[in-house]
Chain A
Amino acid sequence: MADVYTTAPAKVEPMLQGPTGRKPRKALTRGNIMLYGTLIVVSLYYLLPLYVMIVTSLKGMPEIRVGNIFAPPLEITFDPWVKAWAEACTGLNCDGLSRGFWNSVRITVPSVVVSIAIASVNGYALANWRFKGANTFFTILIFGAFIPYQVMLYPLVILLREIGLYGSLTGLVIVHTIFGMPILTLLFRNYFSSLPEELFKAARVDGAGFWRIYFQIMLPMSLPIFVVAMILQVTGIWNDFLFGTVYTKPDSWPMTVQLNNIVNSTQGVKEYNVNMAATLLTGLVPLVIYFASGKLFVRGVAAGAVKG
């Protein structure tokens, strides 16, 4: 061994016949062209609609009538955006989508906070403090995630009416908390179960109780999962349409419901540029969250996919 090692450099030279070193690589093989070609074509399918919307929302109506929807605007105008935000009409109200936007904010913020607070404590109780019956409730809860909402719509109307919250914002917050619970509880339970159990045991030996372990040990370790849950809930609740129509009055309609009313209202001349601006405005919040959160969104989507 040692002998080969010390004399190696001298012996290597005559051995260098045939291919040596890095394999020459062709960037433009047929396979590669097919691969990237397909991906680019598919990307166009996903991207073009967004492009068309943006372009349309920046054109004036005359230009839309004569031009084609893929052409960039000859003359960029932000009027449609202003109109969509401040003047578009739903029914008798003509104060634009801004009303729906603020309604959605008023609905989304408390719903996200309350649903995550409750579900995270639930998940923690299920993961670390197993008690009799817990698994039964949890199984029902997970099955609940698959029950079509239509089945539970009316009983909830009655329940909310009984406690005097039907049509109120608080009522809608409760509804979002209830329907967000299965997936969020699952998310948190799985996360807390993945934390080392010995940590929980050490805290028990150290005399910490249910709430102290939650706040002082678990919470500080769980920031990523809270972010995932927040992404999931903000997009989910912001995008909700069904609960918004069923459980609110026109005055407190969320943005999605208002948008649908603006665009699909049959009266008056269709202003496509305003419609597209309004649509973009409604999609803006989830899109910003999506692009800002990157991989965390993917994690949330994979977990939240159960929501269907």
Chain B
Amino acid sequence: MSSERPSRLFRNMSAKIAAIPMALTALVVFLGGTAWTVAYSFTKSKLLPKWDLVGLDQYERLWSTKRWMVSIENLAVYGAGMLVLSFVLGFVLACLMDQKIRFENTFRTIMLYPFALSFIVTGLIWQWILNPDFGIQHIVRSAGWESFTFDPLYTADWAIFGVMLAALWQGSGLVMVLMLAGLRGIDQEIWKAARIDGIPAWKIYVMIIIPMMRPVFITALVLVTSGIIKVYDLVVAQTSGGPGLATEMPAKYVYDYMFRAQNLGQAFAASTMMLLAVMIVVIPWAMMEFGGKRRG
């Protein structure tokens, strides 16, 4: 038996060894990799990273590049649309699902299955359905309405909504499931009390349920938003960014400059901007979620 205090370093040695992969990932890849990318965004690296500082040149070029500006604009439209639509659709569906309906499992299975599919598969499916020569437009026209036009993927002004339609199909089931879990987490006695008090259902939702579901809304908001900023595969599969620049996205901008245009500095600057955008969303959330309650 040891009467001396063992060295602190060797206490729980196995646990520390087991945590080495985590420590390496956190320090080398997440911290180190991010710092590296940010640092090299201030260089004029082209085909290969080169430590040749040029200050904010890459950022100036980035913000004066039309493709980047359009990408940001597209992301803003897509993001706003996705947020509003997926929240409304998700919440309404969750409320409907919460009415003690029959076949709840079946409905949930139907609404969530697209989430199991990859963005590539999703993009290709909707490319086919929105194909003007075969898809919805073709069917309505052949039913007699000859002037009917519905070809979002081939009209620059509407293409982004075609992408949104597919993204909503893939992801709204998840929002519904999260919201349903939130609704189920609310004390059932609130409903009983409200019924005895004779308060109409819509009023309970607006006045009581929605305020109580704040944590779920915030979680869903963070998830949907960080998903929006990362959107890449879907666009690649469904539209390849077209027609023209109509569905270009920042993530695609980064990839194309990094591996196609061989302009690393631009890619790093663009990805640093993406990081900044995510941090603006995530840091306040993390401070709210974990900052207040941390205790020794």
Contact = CB atoms under 8 A, between A and B. Distances in A.
Query: Do the two chains touch directly in the complex (Cβ atoms below 8 Å apart)?
Result: yes
Interface of A: 35-36, 38-39, 42-43, 45-50, 52-53, 56, 64, 68-70, 118, 121-122, 124-126, 129, 131-134, 137-138, 140-141, 143-144, 146-156, 158-159, 177-178, 181, 185, 209-211, 235, 238-242, 245-246, 256, 259-260, 263-264, 272, 275-276, 279, 282-283, 286-287, 289-291, 294, 297-298, 301-302, 305-306, 308
B263 interface: no
B117 interface: yes
Contacts of B105: 294
B23 A137 contact: yes
Contacts of B49: 154, 158
Given A181-B21, A264-B240, A305-B174, 11 more contacts: A39-B93, A52-B129, A122-B21, A129-B12, A132-B8, A138-B26, A146-B222, A148-B271, A150-B258, A178-B29, A260-B120
Most B CB contacts (10 A, CB to CB) among A133, A275, A291, A297 go to: A297
A39 B286 CA distance: 35
A129 B113 contact: no
Given A131-B16, A134-B19, A260-B120, A150 B129 contact: no
B169 interface: yes
Contacts of B128: 52-53, 56, 69, 272, 275-276
Given A43-B111, A181-B25, A290-B116, A150 B177 contact: no
B15 A272 contact: no
Interface stretch (B150-158, B204-212, B224-232): B224-232
- Dominant secondary structure of chain A at its interface with chain B: helix
Contacts of A155: 29, 32-33, 36-37
B278 A137 contact: no
Given A290-B113, A308-B226, A239 B119 contact: yes
Contacts of B116: 235, 283, 286-287, 289-290, 297
B119 A241 contact: yes
A286 B119 CA distance: 12
B255 interface: yes
A179 to B, nearest CB: 9
Contacts, number: 256
Contact of B25 (A144, A301, A302): A144
Nearest to A264: B240
Contact of B18 (A49, A64, A122, A238): A122
Q: How large is the interface on B (under 10, 10 to 19, 20 to 34, 35 or more residues)?
A: 35 or more
A305 B178 contact: yes
Contacts of B113: 46, 50, 287, 290-291
Interface in B81-123: 93, 96-97, 99, 101, 105, 107-121
A146 B226 contact: yes
A176 B111 CA distance: 28
Interface of B: 8, 11-12, 14-16, 18-19, 21-23, 25-34, 36-38, 49, 93, 96-97, 99, 101, 105, 107-121, 124-129, 134-135, 138-139, 142, 169, 173-174, 177-178, 181, 219, 222-223, 226-227, 229-230, 232-233, 236-237, 240, 251, 254-255, 258-259, 264, 267-268, 270-272, 274-275, 278-279, 282, 286
B30 A144 contact: yes
Contacts of B29: 144, 152, 155-156, 159, 178
